Amino acid sequence: MPARHLFRVVDLFCGAGGLSEGFRQAGYQIVAGSDIDPDACATYALNFPEAHAICGDVRNPAIRKKVVAAAASAEIVVGGPPCQAFSQVRNHCRLIDDARNTLYREFVRIVANVEPLAFVMENVPGLDQMGVREQVLEDLAQKGAYRVTAQLVDAADFGVPQTRRRIVFIGLHSSLDFDPPRLAGSGATAAFYLERRGRGSRIRYEVRERESLFCDMAKLQDPANADFVTAEHAIGDLAWLQAGERRESIPIDELPSPLSEYQRRMRKGLEGVISNVSVPRINTDTRLRLAKLPPGGNVHDLPEEMTERYISGELWGQHNGTGRLGRRHFYAYRRLHPGLWSWTLNTKGDSVYHYSELRALSVREFARLQSFPDRFVFATDPRRGPLPGRIDGGAAHSRYRQAGNAVPPLLGCAIATSLHQVLTSQVKAREAA
């Protein structure tokens, strides 16, 4: 892309930097990222040395001043502010006025203060489901200063090997002559699904094609196709990693050849070592349960005897007094299906298990399912113990949380590319005038 059209971006509530990575891949210049979590800031600083990592609570006047100063030098503001009080609309309380939504208010406030050419705000679908979309559109429009659109999208429709639905708000300053762009994905999530078949010990999951839509199963199964990416096409080259693997990095000459176009693209720019490859240990009970789960299966596919709290006699975790698995375990025994993308990842390393191996995934495999390139390293602040903004759980948990919470970079890149086309058209029109 032409250097003179390298639009500058500031990322609020940036986390590890999924949106920033997507915008960087689309040709933007990343100026700064801000987050309260010192571990996420350490990751951001490591991967975006060209940018200013601002660590602290944006509600703090001193931190806000730094963020506003950075945003004032940028044309684009992006971010995903936590928004907790969706249901308050039922009590006739506007979203922006609720005390629990101060971070959302800060995003709106910063956009109002610096008036960028454009902004992007992403959030969970719950915001849409609770009926507050119109409130958010009104808040972001800033009394007519911006044209704003909202769109519900799924990351798997943009080449991400994971279904991850998000609502995306895109705003363009009213001084521009264009409306915000609409994102056009592949339609993959509407075309394919997993079907449960069989009974008892013969339960299996099959990838099916919806008859009402024109689509091609061959594309989904083709490792050379990077539009529809399955779990196996995303992480199949890392299947040899073992439970209890303690090395955090391994030389790239130990990697097998890429098995898909997606893996080849993820390795682009990788030098020396590949990081975040350690794999958690696994206890005997979990191994026994996984052995009974078909690929794509979950706790509901376990035989009755496998739902007992302790199977092997080894005591682990807190007993719930029932002698059976508790509700909190229902999402802890799920295996990927190799022939379809992953379900939505969360922040815990045991939220998903490998489709063929009896183990959890490494942070690197989480990152692959999120579409982070292999050169992107997840880190933590080297300081030990409690820090302002740090979430308890230790370094390993922090890396899983950072990866699981992130905006998939390929989704960010799709947003950025659509926005770039509009902005460059505007620039060229002004230059021609």
Q: Are 47 and 14 in contact (CB under 8 A)?
A: no
Tell me, what DSSP letter sits at residue 199?
-
Catalytic residues: 83
Q: Are 24 and 33 in contact (CB under 8 A)?
A: no
Tell me, what DSSP letter sits at residue 35?
E
Starting at the edge strand that comes first in sequence, how are the strands of the sheet with 165-173 ordered? 52-55, 29-35, 8-12, 76-79, 118-123, 165-173, 146-154
- Provide the β-strand partners of residue 207: 194
Q: Tokens 């609409």 belong to which residue?
A: 182
Separation of alpha carbons 362 and 280, rounded Å: 7
φ/ψ (deg, to 5) at 149: -125, 155
Separation of alpha carbons 108 and 124, rounded Å: 17
Report the phi/psi class of residue 9: left, alpha or beta, with left for phi > 0 and alpha for psi in -120 to 50: beta
Separation of alpha carbons 145 and 364, rounded Å: 42
